[in-house]
Amino acid sequence: QNLGNDFSSLIFQKYDTLFNILTTDTLGTQGHDNYPFLAKSLDFQNGEFLVGGHLDGPFAHIDFNKSIKKFYLAKFDEEMNRLWFKEYGGDRAYVLIGLKLLEDGGCLAYGYITDIVSGNWYGYIFHVDPDGIVLSSGEIPFNISPSLIQVVNPGNETLYILNTKQIQA
């Protein structure tokens, strides 16, 4: 939603069965364009909602794959009370694809990072605890050749993933 200041905000709303708005929360940072994650920006588990998005990107820049950006996660209860809102990143060119709210209340965010110098992309997964505190993050190392992991589809409803070097990804 554009709030009249030429910047977009991410709006999270709860509706009744007649589509009347019951409550609304605006996410992101004022003075920036705020976008949802590219594929999955909302998840629900055990009475909690997880919402995620990009701050000032990815589409706020001409070359969004190489722009340094932050992303955020916010957790809500079923009544739309915000439990927490946290910003992460800002040190690399993160492009977050989606998120997952875990059974234990923790959260995963996943996507890819672009090396600004080489232009290489590599996968990324980010894990936080039920309060949004970073537990771990992982990425596929740069020195792995894409040819080391092969996907072969010979037909007949069979898909083989060859990982002879036992790369953890």
Name residues whose C-beta falls within 8 Å of residue 42's C-beta, 6 or more positions apart in sequence: 12, 36, 49, 50, 51, 52, 99
What rounded mean pLDDT belongs to the chain?
79
- SS3 call for 62: coil
What are the CA-CA distances from residue 61 to residues 55, 56, 64, 150 (Å)?
11, 8, 5, 33
What are the CA-CA distances from residue 151 to residues 25, 125, 169 (Å)?
42, 21, 14
Prediction pTM value: 0.72
- Of all residues in the chain, the percent with pLDDT exceeding 70 is 69
Confidence of residue 64 (pLDDT cuts 50, 70, 90): low
State pLDDT tens for residues 102-117. 999 999 999 888 877 7
State pLDDT tens for residues 110-148. 988 887 777 777 888 899 999 999 998 887 654 555 555
Confidence of residue 1 (pLDDT cuts 50, 70, 90): very low
